Amino acid sequence: MFYTDPSFVVGAAFIIVVAWLAKPIMRAVSSALDGRADKIRGQIEEARKLREEAQALLAEYQRKQRDALSEAEHIVAQAKEEATRMRAQAEQDLEKSVERRKAQALDRIAQSEAQAIASVRNTAVDVAIAAAQKLITDQMSGDRQDALVDSAIKDLGNRLN
């Protein structure tokens, strides 16, 4: 019969041993697979958390970039306003400076005219005095000249006071 055959007994013993060992081995394999599945779930959860953090950081940096661009535009606008204001002030200052120089030039011209008129008058007075002196010396006698000089000297005290 077949159960007396040694191959059959070895095969049956092998099947019994394998069946008897298969249960703990299956438990070990199952727990190892469950552990690996838990580990993979943990890694997936960690990856999800990291992804959420990365998205939050990305959103924050995009907001910061928008804020920086807005601030840069504001600074440029202020700089343009300041440049316009400075240009207007420079034009006003230049206009005032031109007016001031024009007034100074007109004052100098007026002073030069006054000096020229005074010089002409002084020259005319000098010429008139020289002509009068020449006339007086030519037409007056020596006694008359001495009397005129004495009279002027006496009258000098009254004129100075």
Is 161 a member of any domain? no
113-154: pLDDT as tens digits:
999 999 998 888 888 888 887 877 777 777 777 787 788 788
Is 1 a member of any domain? no
Residue 13: which domain range? 8-155
pLDDT of residue 17: 87
Q: Cα(128)–Cα(74) distance, rounded to whole angstroms?
A: 79
Classify residue 7 by its DSSP letter. Answer: H
CA distances from 10 to 20, 46, 74, 159 (A): 15, 51, 91, 169
Residue by residue, DSSP assigns 11-60 as HHHHHHHHHHHHHHHHHHHHHHHHHHHHHHHHHHHHHHHHHHHHHHHHHH
Is 101 a member of any domain? yes
| 48, 54, 55, 60 alpha-carbon torsion, rounded to 10° | 150
Q: Cα(1)–Cα(7) distance, rounded to whole angstroms?
A: 12
Is 16 a member of any domain? yes
pLDDT of residue 91: 94
Whether 78 has a pLDDT exceeding 60, the answer reads yes
Is 3 a member of any domain? no
Classify residue 5 by its DSSP letter. Answer: S
Answer whether 136's CB lies under 8 Å from 145's CB: yes
Answer whether 9's CB lies under 8 Å from 3's CB: yes
The number of distinct structural domains making up the chain is: 1
Is 2 a member of any domain? no
Is 39 a member of any domain? yes
10-24: pLDDT as tens digits:
888 888 888 888 888
Q: Cα(97)–Cα(91) distance, rounded to whole angstroms?
A: 10
